[in-house]
Amino acid sequence: DGGITQSPKYLFRKEGQNVTLSCEQNLNHDAMYWYRQDPGQGLRLIYYSQIVNDFQKGDIAEGYSVSREKKESFPLTVTSAQKNPTAFYLCASSIVRDSHEQYFGPGTRLTVT
Amino acid sequence: AQSVTQLGSHVSVSEGALVLLRCNYSSSVPPYLFWYVQYPNQGLQLLLKYTTGATLVKGINGFEAEFKKSETSFHLTKPSAHMSDAAEYFCAVSGTGSARQLTFGSGTQLTVLP
């Protein structure tokens, strides 16, 4: 079955540590996205990528980094510079130049203490 | 730039009653509009979308929405609520350019009372 996988489902880290969240898709979609979700704030765009080896900052990119070395993979690193990293992180993908309907993964809940 | 406003962060209805979740948008170009549903600790699932053509859009699970350009609205409705409809609902509008990023509203939590 085609879809988006995110791992792990739950992640716990100590403050000051970098952590990488995985996102893999087998939908053959060109574009991939990372969102952060906090209660009452909807989804906010962190980074997006339209093609391999290219990505752009979203609205809240500070303290995050990404790479896009393969079409199917778009890992997100939450660095120690992110001041409030505890959140629910969602990865999505879409076909560029379509209606831009985005397909979402199941999410990773990151807790930093 | 585009934005989305969802009126009512929490909505409660009785089982069998009408569900109405409100969404207003602003966009400098003809919009693409979406409604997504999210169950606890899960990703978002597309309910329905408006791109072009018929302004009344039918989606999954008996939901529908009507695009009203004059009112810049895209309200979500369902004639009869079911307990399984309890979830958070997000309205979204697409942006411009080849990336067509989505801008999401802040969400409406729907509670269905027995």
On chain A, the residues whose CB falls within 8 A of the CB of B87 are none
Q: Which residue has the higher pLDDT, B110 or B40?
A: B110
In this prediction, residue B98 carries a pLDDT of 54
Distance of alpha carbon B45 from alpha carbon A24, whole angstroms: 17
- Tokens representing A69 are 């070395």
Distance of alpha carbon A89 from alpha carbon A110, whole angstroms: 7
Q: Can you point out the beta strands (E) in chain A?
A: 4-7, 10-13, 19-25, 31-37, 43-51, 54-57, 64-66, 76-78, 87-94, 103-104, 108-112
Q: In the A/B pair of chains, how many CB contacts fall below 8 A? A: 58
% of residues, chain B, pLDDT over 90: 75
Nearest CA in chain B to A95: B99
Work out the burial of residue B60: count CB atoms within 10 Å of its CB; fewer than 13 is exposed, 13-18 middle, 19 or more buried: exposed
Q: Is the pLDDT of residue A104 over 90?
A: yes
In this prediction, residue B48 carries a pLDDT of 96
The region of weakest confidence among A82-91, B27-36, B93-102 is B93-102
The answer to whether residues B1 and B24 touch, using CB atoms and an 8 Å cutoff, is no
In this prediction, residue B97 carries a pLDDT of 59
Q: Quick check: A51 contacting B, CB < 8 Å?
A: no
Confidence of residue A98 (pLDDT cuts 50, 70, 90): low
The answer to whether residues B9 and B108 touch, using CB atoms and an 8 Å cutoff, is yes
Distance of alpha carbon B107 from alpha carbon B4, whole angstroms: 10
Q: Which residue has the higher pLDDT, A99 or A23?
A: A23
Confidence of residue A100 (pLDDT cuts 50, 70, 90): confident
Q: Is the pLDDT of residue B110 over 70?
A: yes
Cβ within 8 Å of residue B17, ≥6 positions away: B80, B81
Q: Is the pLDDT of residue B99 over 60?
A: no
In this prediction, residue B51 carries a pLDDT of 86
Amino acid at A94: S
